[in-house]
Amino acid sequence: MSVTEYLQQSELFSGLTPGRVGQIVALGHEVVYDAGDAIIREGDPSDEMYVVCSGMVEVTVSRGAIPDVPGPPQLTSIARLGQGQMFGEMALVDRGARSATVRCVQDDTRVYVIPRQSFWDLCDSDHTTGYIVMRNIAADLSFKLRHRNLQMRLGGGER
């Protein structure tokens, strides 16, 4: 399956014509990661978003991190994301630092990297693409919140 075919199965591109998907695909590039590789790190500056073409990644946040206290912060996994899922989209929207660390948990995980600025430029120049993509990002963030709520209710997660 081609990268474009993988990406067309992501909600990010739902409702876009193949031509418009192609315009976004042309902005980015694919990177392959192995299990344990860090893709983004909490606190780092951000200028890209990502879509998982195949494989799986894990999102973790640090708890109890105190800059003056030695030792690694405690990491808490908050989600695993597989084929078709996007991450790094919060920074795309708000330009803030990375709110979580994302590591690959399966060898040969393929991730598509989309640069923020050129993506914004495309959305600014084509408002139809911009509207559809931003609606899709909002829907995805909503789905992740619902997932997290269910996880806390059924999985025994902390409230």
Partner 1 sequence: MIYKVSYVVLGKPHLGAIVNLDTPPRVGDRVQLGDEVCEVREVIDLIPPREDFAYLHVTCRPVGEAT
* By CB under 8 A, residue 11 contacts partner 1: yes
The answer to whether 147 contacts partner 1 (rule: CB under 8 A) is: yes
> Could you tell me how far CA 85 lies from the centroid of its own chain?
7
Of 5, 15, 124, 138, the one binding partner 1 by CB under 8 A: 15
CA angle 119, 48, 121 (to 5 degrees): 15
* Pick from 113, 43, 109: nearest CA to 73: 43
Question: In the complex with partner 1, which residue's Cβ is closer, 76 or 115?
Answer: 76
Within 41-100, which residues bind partner 1 (CB under 8 A)? Answer: 56, 58, 76-85
Q: Which amino acid is at 90?
A: M
Contact flag: residue 101 with partner 1 (CB under 8 A): no
Q: Using CA atoms, how far apart are residues 124 and 6, in angstroms rounded to an integer? A: 25
14 near partner 1, judged by CB under 8 A: yes
Phi first, then psi, for residue 107 (nearest 5°) are -60, 150
Which residues make up the interface to partner 1 (CB under 8 A)? 9-11, 14-15, 56, 58, 76-85, 105-106, 139, 143-144, 146-147, 150-152, 154-158
